[in-house]
Amino acid sequence: MSMGGRVLGLHLGLLVVLFALQFVLPAYHHGNIARIMVLASYAVGYNILFGYTGLLSLGHALFFAAGMYGMGLTIQHAGFTPAPALIVGIVAGALVAGGLALLALRTSGVAFMIVTLMFAQAGYLTILYFGEYTRGDEGFVIQQAQRVLWGVDLSDPTARYFAAWGLFSVCFLMSLWLVQSRFGGTLIAIRENEERVRMLGYDTYAHKLGAMVVSGTISAAAGAFYGLLFGYAGATFGSVQYSIFPLLWVLLGGAGTVLGPFVGTLFMFYLIDLSSGVTSAYMLIAGVALVALTLFAPQGLTGEVRRRLWKGLP
């Protein structure tokens, strides 16, 4: 099998395994994997900007929340059905990402982190400010009757799993295609040496703008699906910790690898879930695991696989 064939086989294999898992998993883990796939989609979006373009954003919760509220508010106040509401959520995320990119990409490095963080915080406070519509920090429920997509009740575990799998598959394959495309190659080159890429005649600003819009749109799609599948939209999802989560997931799984976001999300979810069963100091365990990984596998779990076993892994 050619290199490309092996890569495609590995990634499609993961999707096949995830698809098949729903028939064998017990109820609790079935629900968890559905949740993890949506969150991993968020991490996939984050990875495009951070892992492949080298831009560390601390404001991705803004895009996640834009998707969640774009979807949720139109269902709640405009009576939209899920399909158009999802589209509104995704478009809202794309617009917010584009707008923020125009401003934030005037900066770089630490300043970029701070600007994205500040805009996300402003977004969070905006959700609280318009509490009359958003119900602020309390949030609101998206009722079961409002979650029927083309006759399918998304509160049903099987339907939810399928929807989460569908979202993850699209984001995952798009990410795989993107990083192997000319556009993705340019992003990686920007990450490695932006000055040289510019010297070669590429418009690095336009590429970074594109990366941020794609990244924000995927994050928004994850936010919109999360709200719809689990029936709740709340300001917590726009808070700073939800900007940190995808960074952690991507770092753990392997920044700049297509598989990394999923591996990191899965690892972190079960690390917290299992360690919380052992001790109340489970965040300490999570912290120690993070430090250990940073020390012994600085490129993350998948990154380490690439370093040791499979050099060409995208």
* Contacts to other proteins by CB under 8 A: 26-28, 31-32, 35, 125, 128-129, 131-132, 135-142, 144, 155, 230-232, 234-237, 273, 276-280, 282-283
Give the 3-state secondary structure of residue 31.
helix
Contact between 113 and 57 (Cβ < 8 Å): yes
* Residue among 95 and 159 whose Cβ is closer to other proteins: 159
Closest of 115, 106, 102 to residue 56, by C-alpha: 115
Residues 104 and 123: their CA atoms lie apart, in Å, by: 15
* Residue among 290 and 297 whose Cβ is closer to other proteins: 290
C-beta of 31: minimal distance to other proteins in Å?
5
Residues 233 and 20: their CA atoms lie apart, in Å, by: 30
Residue count of the chain: 314
Give the 3-state secondary structure of residue 141.
strand
C-beta of 135: minimal distance to other proteins in Å?
6
Number of other CB atoms surrounding residue 244 within 10 Å: 14
C-beta of 15: minimal distance to other proteins in Å?
24
C-beta of 18: minimal distance to other proteins in Å?
18
* Residue among 52 and 119 whose Cβ is closer to other proteins: 119
* Residue among 160 and 306 whose Cβ is closer to other proteins: 160
Residues 230 and 37: their CA atoms lie apart, in Å, by: 13
* Residue among 174 and 240 whose Cβ is closer to other proteins: 240
C-beta of 276: minimal distance to other proteins in Å?
6
H/E segment holding residue 152 = strand 152-153
* Residue among 173 and 285 whose Cβ is closer to other proteins: 285
C-beta of 152: minimal distance to other proteins in Å?
14
- Crossing angle (nearest 10°) for helices 204-230 and 82-104: 150
